């Protein structure tokens, strides 16, 4: 008998009460070993599910086979409805059975039952030569045995039982058969004065009783579902005999009580005559029952908090000083939109913000764009007896926030005690769907623990206090949908939100009112709260903007209906599925260092949250969608620090990020023209338009005007973008991108550098720039990083041109025409790149950061430790520029990015030189030094930098995450792991690697995408690299220092550590399946 | 009716102790508080005689209470200052025996160490001693970014509001000292990825954490680098600060409270000490 659970949606619904028939449903019969099904049901009990057995037999039979095998506090969730509706047993905290309900027949009722059974027996015997038995010793019922010679017919032989019983009756002379016997029992009961007789049959018997299974179900509804305030929709009833058998209702049909709506009824029986309307027939018998129960366990686990602590960010208590920092760390984002981890009810420490990628607003006379803060969709406040609950040390009994990094779900548990000792327990859950970017979901459950009082819950969408960019919400009242339209203050973009709520109030009457105010639109839900009775609200919000649709309000309203219809569990499962898919591709398994695992998971969570593969008009800003301090501006952080993560784990997002640059190309060309250059001069700080968003000057805290030179001088971003383009092309081989956008980006950036370079003597120089080291911000000449990256940019443009000329002649012609390429231009570029001044070197091979750097005052950064601020703050700007103090990786950045162009000696000597002079006054720096250190084999040093980078946001005494998390540092951390410790290099002809793990790390495993193929790598420190190639074709791979190998996919290969180095890859014969790269 | 707020001034009859009287009168005036003049003696004197002995008989006194108590001076002063309505104790750093080499006399030391309420200390050798017409307009409040200092800040802002002062909050970046480890600490930003964004955000966060001001107090955040005490003295001198308010933990033992000791030794403006913890 098959079990069609897979084709139903039933295993996507989380049931709170599961009631079922025992014999034939949960077990084959009452003799079999029930330990397996007991173990599964016990697990459900432990997960808080109410389990009820509804049986015709007595309690002892069920207890012997099932309930006696269970012990523990969870057994209090178990109930046995025995004797066909006449008894309910529960269990106390010591697991001792307790009778909770018993129907006691009166002497008169017992006499009546005897009489009815005897009359029926006598009727049948009189009209036939049959012997009919009566079983008297049953509570509140009598069993008329129609086939005494077959003592215990198994359920599985129901068909045979029907045939034999019918034959016996008819052959014996009772032509009406089983149905006739049943009808006779009904008739005689009525005649004898048994008013509400319950006549049932399991074919072998006709039972005449005072109760049936419907009484057990009704008791559960009244005493359990209502008391726990469980909705009927979360009540599952299973049986095996709902459908008619031999002309009368199946024994489980009585469990399908008509009055409450929404209970799910499932039959796992054979049901030869079908099932009544409203019952889902799955078939499959006890095996199917078991499968369903296991699915419920799986579903609950899936919906629950991840059990791996390295995926959990937990904040206990409440420290108002850290509140804005916590909000950033606990932000939930999906690339389209991000919401900070603010308290739903807000307080004076909150920096509530919801930010939508690409929704910029401009402010001030300079017209600088900044990400607009959208209306607050979280706002929810709870009132007890009219008084709002507010979080503070005095009233807080418990307060814990958890961000599940694996599933992208934020949870908050808050127990509040008022001055009268009344304790309220509140659970919040929220997520912004990764599966459906416009869907924002929240759930709040309120439980008065020790009191009953009038409760009110106010929830809506509103302006948030302290928003620096003002939006203008216009509330519109709908029927069940609340909607709100807002505009950015410059009127450029409409943001619309729509809200629907669903309340799970069980039997509690919740009144709903809609309230519209200037600042937003709210629903007020009020009810008479009863001690121990939970009320749960689900809030569905949909967001659309005029960036995506002409009528965002209409889209939001229609969408919110759709998502509310799907329900929270379904949306959460889809969201979790999406996160799982991303972790499957981006997850890291690291053995031996739980802290490092946590830093990595935290970083990867925020990186995934920041990227949006669906929108080519946005990229990843410095703090993503977790905070406002960088105004949502996009820097070189995007291409150099975060892009590689996406290239290797989610190329679609990387492509969208680069397409953002392509769409801002016109502005970049205007920027170049305005500055007197050719080609594309991308803005140092970019927003929607691509125009320069760096202010020319800012006011210091003491009112002093401080010039900002980065927008004018940090031209290296132009080559950084080209680097990102080439990196993506190299790793993906996405020809479509190269033809549509990549080549043009490379050509126009190269053209900028050509116009930016000055010829002095026989070489070309780039004058008056600012490298990544912003301590020297007054314009330096021949910054090594800038010059080298510029030359590299030109060379890659030439390479792209050669590819197009060779393989895509039509596209090349079109591109040449589009960009107005002049005859001889490429030749000039080639000459210029070859003659670009790449910096002076000392005798020992140290590269000079910029012209004249070596003649500055020397210092050793360690002489200034400890200190509470970056060195330029301690020394002052004027002094700092005269020293060799370096803010962040500058030459060292080039040692990483342009490794192939530099000698090993230059890399080693330069790293050692600059390390002593680098202050790491930027969060971008530690991971880059760590990466180069690791590649140089300085593993302890590399690990120290890795720790430093990992703690940038997670240390609780830094405070610098208040304005948002440091995404570039996170991307840097990931790069240090993959490009540093694993030694991965994306080369033009292959993927290269050379892992070196620090002593503490035992194992590292991860996946990478390379030219459409998935590579799964497992590194066991100083023992073996295992490489699994999925898909098909040949994958060029190289161990650093060895020749390129063409490895055939699919297949698994290994490289062994011998004599202090890795050997070439050799196939592992017969190895299939995952390398199990998730085990730590 | 609620008792009026009070300012406590201990006097021992010495000229040095009486040098703080002008400041006490001034703050009592500006804070609309009663001046509680306290002296410890086993032989109470008639009021006019006592006033003469304390050297305040010729001063115009408006709203004051004279306390003559027997016992230990520190006990008496601390007990009086601990009454619910007392805002602050104002005292000279020294009494009868003023030694320029010592930071504070032993009675003064006892009072500041045991007081849980703010104490304004007046150095007798200040070039310009506050008189009863003194009206503090600007107060300098250093904040090291630790949660303990933040707790003291609430009290400092309350006093500033009562005195009608603007507050200059000063944070000094230091070399030779590690960042505080307590959760919630916030010193100068460790990472300034793009300084023009970071500084304004840091200032906003710093003030939000540590200086949520009453609406009537005008606040300004200053960031300096160097030795904190020197920077505060310099700031007070160059920017016309009228007083300095400092959080401290109550111990001037060797090796502790270096900043307070240095300021006590060099300050030319009154110093208000606010106990934390």
Domain of A357, CATH number, reads 2.70.98.40
- Domain identity same for A512 and A398: yes
- Domain identity same for A1028 and A1079: yes
* CA dihedral for A310, A315, A321, A322, sign (positive or negative): positive
* Residue with token string 């011998």: A1058
Mean pLDDT of B8-14: 93
- Whether residue B150 lies within 8 A of chain A, CB to CB, comes out as yes
Alpha-carbon span A364 to A366, nearest angstrom: 5
Catalytic annotation, pick one of A42, A315, A770, A774: A774
B4 DSSP 8-state letter? P
Nearest to A322 among B183, B200, B203 (CB): B183
Task: Give the CATH number of the domain where residue A1067 resides.
Answer: 2.60.420.10
Is A860 contained in some domain? no
Give me the total of CB pairs closer than 8 Å, taking one residue from chain A and one from chain B.
Answer: 137
The answer to ipTM > 0.90 is: no
Domain B138-275 has CATH 3.40.50.620: yes
Q: Which residues of B touch A324 (CB under 8 A)?
A: 205, 208
- Domain identity same for A293 and A326: no
- Domain identity same for A275 and A365: no
Q: Which residues of B43-80 are buried (b: 16+ CB within 10 A; e: fewer)?
A: eeeeeeebbeebbbeeeebeebebbbbeeebbebbbeb
Angle between helices A35-46 and A285-303 (to 10 degrees): 30
Alpha-carbon span A993 to A980, nearest angstrom: 9
Looking at residue A27, its pLDDT comes to: 96
Q: Tell me the two tokens of residue A1052.
A: 């698994």
- Whether residue B187 lies within 8 A of chain A, CB to CB, comes out as yes
Q: Which residues of A touch B181 (CB under 8 A)?
A: 957
Alpha-carbon span A353 to A361, nearest angstrom: 15
Residue of chain B with shortest Cα separation from A953: B191
* Residue with token string 């030779």: B176
Is A377 contained in some domain? yes
In the three-class reduction of DSSP (H, G, I as helix; E, B as strand; rest coil), residue A765 is classed as strand
Looking at residue B213, its pLDDT comes to: 65
Alpha-carbon span A619 to A777, nearest angstrom: 26
Residue of chain B with shortest Cα separation from A704: B222
Residue A298: burial class (beta carbons within 10 Å; 0-12, 13-18, 19+) = exposed
Q: Which residues of A touch B201 (CB under 8 A)?
A: 629, 962-963
- Domain identity same for A425 and A563: yes
- Domain identity same for A391 and A453: yes
Alpha-carbon span B111 to B81, nearest angstrom: 10
Give me the residues of chain A with pLDDT under 50, please. Answer: 468-469, 1076-1080
**Model pLDDT for residues B137-157, shown as the tens digit of each residue:** 999 999 888 888 777 888 899
Alpha-carbon span A266 to A386, nearest angstrom: 44
How many other C-beta atoms can be found within 10 angstroms of the C-beta atom of residue B175? 18
B197 Cα to chain A: minimum distance (Å): 6
Torsion of CA A477, A478, A481, A483, to 10 degrees: -40
Looking at residue A1078, its pLDDT comes to: 40
**Inter-chain CB proximity A873 and B173 less than 8 Å:** yes
Is A728 contained in some domain? no
Domain that holds residue A1009: 984-1080
Nearest to A959 among B181, B186, B225 (CB): B186
Considering only residues B215 and A1044, tell me which one the structure prediction assigns the higher pLDDT: A1044
- Domain identity same for A393 and A487: yes
Is A477 contained in some domain? yes
How many other C-beta atoms can be found within 10 angstroms of the C-beta atom of residue A550? 8
Sequential DSSP letters for A155-172: GGGHHHHHHHHHHHHHHT
Q: Looking at the DSSP assignment, which residues form a beta bridge with residue A754? A: none
**Inter-chain CB proximity B203 and A630 less than 8 Å:** no
- Whether residue B218 lies within 8 A of chain A, CB to CB, comes out as no
Residues 6+ apart with CB under 8 A from A902: A847, A894, A895
**Inter-chain CB proximity A868 and B199 less than 8 Å:** no
Q: Please report, rounded to a whole number, the percentage of residues in chain B having pLDDT higher than 70.
A: 97
Looking at residue A804, its pLDDT comes to: 98
Which residues make up the CATH 3.40.50.620 domain(s) of chain B? 6-122, 138-275
- Domain identity same for A295 and A367: no
- Domain identity same for A280 and A425: no
A321, B184 in Cβ contact below 8 A? yes
B255 Cα to chain A: minimum distance (Å): 18
Is A144 contained in some domain? yes
First to last CA, chain B: 32
Is A975 contained in some domain? no
Nearest to A868 among B187, B220, B221 (CB): B187
Looking at residue A674, its pLDDT comes to: 97
- Domain identity same for A347 and A484: yes
Q: Which residues of B touch A322 (CB under 8 A)?
A: 183-184
Is A542 contained in some domain? yes
In the three-class reduction of DSSP (H, G, I as helix; E, B as strand; rest coil), residue A698 is classed as strand
**Inter-chain CB proximity B201 and A963 less than 8 Å:** yes
- Domain identity same for A350 and A373: yes
The fold for domain B6-122 equals Rossmann fold (3.40.50)
Residue of chain A with shortest Cα separation from B208: A349
**Inter-chain CB proximity B184 and A959 less than 8 Å:** yes
User: In sequence order, which ranges of A920-1058 are alpha helices (DSSP H)?
Assistant: 925-935, 939-950, 967-975
In the three-class reduction of DSSP (H, G, I as helix; E, B as strand; rest coil), residue B169 is classed as strand
Domain total of chain A: 4
**Inter-chain CB proximity B182 and A957 less than 8 Å:** yes
CA distances from B24 to A648, B37, B122 (A): 70, 9, 10
Looking at residue A1077, its pLDDT comes to: 39
Is A806 contained in some domain? no
Q: How far is CA A254 from the centre of its chain?
A: 42
Could you give phi then psi for residue A116, rounded to 5 degrees?
A: -60, -45
Looking at residue B277, its pLDDT comes to: 65
Is position A774 annotated as part of the catalytic site? yes
- Domain identity same for A506 and A357: yes
**Inter-chain CB proximity B222 and A968 less than 8 Å:** no
């Amino acid at each position: 008998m098959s079990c069609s659970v897979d084709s139903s949606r039933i295993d996507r619904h989380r049931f709170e009460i599961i009631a079922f028939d025992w014999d034939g449903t949960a077990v084959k019969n009452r003799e079999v070993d029930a330990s397996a099904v007991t173990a599964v049901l016990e697990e459900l009990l432990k997960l808080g599910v109410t389990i009820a057995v509804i049986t015709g037999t007595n309690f002892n039979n069920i207890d012997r086979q099932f309930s006696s095998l269970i012990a523990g506090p969870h057994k209090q969730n178990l109930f046995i409805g025995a004797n066909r509706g006449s008894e309910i047993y529960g269990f106390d905290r010591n697991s001792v059975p307790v009778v909770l309900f018993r129907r006691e027949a009166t002497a008169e009722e017992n006499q009546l039952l005897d009489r009815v059974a005897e009359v029926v027996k006598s009727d049948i015997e009189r009209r036939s030569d049959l012997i009919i038995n009566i079983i008297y010793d049953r509570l509140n019922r009598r069993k008329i045995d129609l086939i005494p010679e077959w003592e215990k017919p198994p359920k599985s032989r129901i068909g045979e039982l029907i045939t034999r019983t019918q034959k016996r009756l008819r052959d014996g002379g009772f032509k009406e058969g089983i149905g006739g016997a049943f009808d006779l029992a009904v008739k005689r009961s009525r005649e004898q004065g048994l008013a509400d007789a319950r006549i049932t049959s399991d074919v072998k018997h006709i039972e005449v009783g005072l109760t049936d299974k419907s009484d057990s179900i009704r008791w559960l509804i009244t005493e359990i579902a209502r008391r726990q305030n469980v909705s009927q929709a979360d009540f599952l009833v299973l049986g095996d005999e709902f459908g008619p058998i031999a002309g009368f209702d199946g024994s489980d049909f009585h469990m399908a009580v008509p009055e409450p709506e929404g209970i799910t009824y499932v039959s796992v029986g054979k049901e030869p005559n079908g099932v009544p309307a409203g019952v889902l027939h799955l078939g499959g018998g006890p095996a199917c029952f078991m499968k369903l129960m296991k699915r419920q366990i799986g579903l609950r686990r899936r919906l629950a908090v991840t059990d791996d602590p390295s995926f959990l960010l937990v904040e206990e208590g409440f420290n108002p000083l850290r509140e804005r920092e916590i909000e950033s760390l606990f932000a939930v984002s999906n690339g389209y939109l991000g919401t900070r981890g603010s308290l739903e009810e807000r307080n004076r420490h909150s920096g509530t913000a919801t930010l939508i990628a690409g929704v910029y607003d401009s402010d001030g006379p300079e017209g600088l764009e900044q990400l607009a803060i959208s209306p607050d969709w979280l706002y929810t406040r709870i009132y007890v007896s009219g008084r709002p609950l507010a979080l503070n040390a005095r009233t807080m009994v418990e307060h814990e926030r958890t961000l599940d990094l694996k599933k992208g779900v934020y949870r908050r548990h808050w127990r509040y005690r008022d001055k009268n000792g009344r304790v309220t327990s509140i659970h919040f859950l929220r997520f912004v769907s990764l599966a459906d970017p416009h869907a924002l979901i929240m759930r709040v459950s309120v439980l008065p623990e020790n009191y009953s009082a009038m409760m009110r819950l106010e929830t809506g969408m509103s302006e948030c206090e302290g928003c620096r960019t003002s939006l203008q919400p216009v509330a519109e009242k709908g029927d069940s949908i609340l909607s709100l339209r807002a505009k950015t203050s410059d009127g450029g973009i409409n943001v619309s939100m729509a809200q629907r709520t669903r309340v799970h109030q069980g039997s509690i009457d919740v009144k709903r009112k809609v309230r519209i105010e200037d600042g937003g639109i709210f629903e007020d839900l009020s009810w008479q709260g009863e001690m121990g009775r939970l009320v749960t609200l689900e809030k569905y919000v949909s967001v659309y903007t005029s960036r995506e649709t002409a009528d965002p309000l209409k889209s939001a309203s229609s969408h919110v209906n759709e998502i509310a219809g799907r329900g929270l569990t379904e949306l959460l499962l889809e969201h979790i599925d999406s996160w799982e898919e991303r972790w499957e591709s981006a997850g890291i398994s690291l053995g031996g260092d739980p802290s490092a695992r946590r830093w990595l998971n935290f970083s990867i969570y925020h990186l995934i949250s920041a990227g949006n593969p669906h929108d080519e008009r946005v990229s990843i800003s410095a703090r993503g969608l977790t905070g406002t301090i960088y105004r949502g501006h996009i820097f070189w952080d995007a291409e150099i620090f975060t892009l590689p993560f996406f290239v290797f784990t989610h190329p679609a997002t990387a492509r969208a990020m680069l397409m953002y640059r392509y769409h801002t190309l016109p502005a970049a060309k205007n920027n170049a023209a305005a500055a007197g250059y050719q080609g594309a001069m991308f803005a140092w700080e970019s927003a929607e338009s691509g125009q320069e968003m760096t202010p020319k000057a800012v006011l210091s805290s003491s009112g002093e005007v401080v010039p900002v030179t980065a927008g004018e001088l940090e031209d290296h971003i132009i080559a950084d973008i080209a680097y990102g383009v080439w990196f993506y092309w190299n790793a993906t081989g996405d020809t479509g991108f190269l033809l549509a956008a990549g080549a043009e980006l490379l050509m126009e950036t190269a053209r900028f550098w050509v116009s930016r370079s000055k010829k002095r003597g026989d070489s070309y120089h780039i004058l008056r720039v600012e490298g990544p080291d912003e301590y020297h911000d007054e314009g330096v000449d021949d910054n090594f990083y800038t010059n080298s990256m510029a030359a590299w940019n030109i060379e890659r443009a030439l390479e792209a041109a050669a590819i197009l000329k060779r393989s895509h002649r039509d596209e090349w012609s079109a591109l040449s025409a589009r960009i107005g390429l002049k005859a001889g231009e490429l030749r000039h570029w080639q000459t210029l790149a070859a003659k670009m001044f790449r910096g002076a070197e000392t005798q020992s091979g140290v590269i000079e950061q910029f012209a004249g750097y070596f003649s500055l005052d020397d210092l050793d950064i360690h002489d200034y430790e400890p200190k509470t601020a970056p060195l330029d703050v301690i020394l002052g700007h004027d002094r700092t520029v005269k020293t060799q103090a370096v803010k962040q990786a500058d030459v060292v950045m080039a040692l990483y990015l342009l490794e192939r162009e530099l000698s090993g000696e230059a890399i080693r000597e330069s790293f050692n030189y600059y390390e002593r002079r680098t202050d790491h006054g930027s969060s971008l720096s530690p991971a880059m030094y760590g990466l180069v250190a690791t590649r140089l084999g300085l593993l302890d040093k590399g690990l120290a930098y890795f720790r430093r980078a990992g703690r940038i946001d997670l240390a609780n005494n830094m405070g610098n995450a208040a304005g948002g998390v440091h995404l570039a540092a996170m991307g840097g951390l990931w790069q240090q792991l993959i490009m540093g410790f694993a030694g991965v290099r994306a080369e033009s002809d292959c993927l290269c690697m050379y892992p070196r793990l620090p002593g503490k790390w035992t194992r590292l495993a991860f996946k990478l995408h390379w030219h459409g193929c998935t590579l799964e790598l497992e590194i066991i420190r100083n023992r073996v690299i295992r490489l699994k190639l999925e898909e098909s074709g040949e994958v060029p791979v190289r161990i650093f220092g060895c020749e390129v190998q063409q490895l055939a996919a699919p297949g698994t290969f290994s490289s062994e550590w011998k004599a202090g180095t890795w050997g070439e890859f050799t196939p592992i014969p017969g190895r299939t399946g995952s390398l199990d790269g998730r085990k730590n | 009716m609620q008792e009026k707020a009070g300012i406590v001034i201990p006097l021992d009859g010495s000229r040095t102790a009486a040098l703080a009287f002008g400041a006490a009168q001034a703050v009592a005036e500006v804070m609309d508080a009663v001046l509680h003049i306290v002296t410890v003696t086993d032989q109470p004197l008639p009021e006019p005689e006592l006033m003469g002995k304390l050297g305040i008989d010729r001063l115009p006194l408006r709203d004051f209470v004279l306390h003559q108590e027997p016992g230990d001076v520190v006990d008496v002063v601390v007990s009086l200052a601990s009454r619910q309505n007392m805002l602050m104790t104002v005292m000279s750093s020294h009494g009868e025996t003023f030694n320029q080499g010592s930071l504070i006399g032993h009675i003064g030391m006892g009072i500041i160490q045991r007081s849980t309420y703010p104490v304004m200390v007046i150095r007798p050798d200040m070039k310009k001693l506050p008189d009863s017409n003194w009206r503090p307009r600007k107060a300098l409040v250093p904040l090291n970014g630790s949660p303990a200092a933040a707790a003291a800040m609430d009290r400092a802002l309350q006093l500033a509001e009562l005195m009608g002062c603007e507050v200059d909050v000063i944070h000094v970046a230091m070399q030779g000292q590690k960042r505080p480890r307590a959760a919630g600490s916030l010193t100068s930003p460790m990472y300034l990825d793009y300084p023009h964004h970071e500084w304004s955000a840091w200032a906003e966060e710093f003030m939000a954490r540590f200086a949520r001001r009453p609406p009537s107090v005008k606040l300004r955040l200053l960031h300096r680098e160097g030795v904190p005490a020197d920077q505060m003295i310099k700031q007070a001198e160059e920017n016309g600060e009228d007083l300095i308010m400092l959080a401290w933990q109550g111990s001037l033992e060797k090796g502790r409270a270096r900043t307070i000791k240095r300021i006590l030794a060099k300050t030319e403006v009154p110093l208000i000490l606010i106990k934390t913890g």
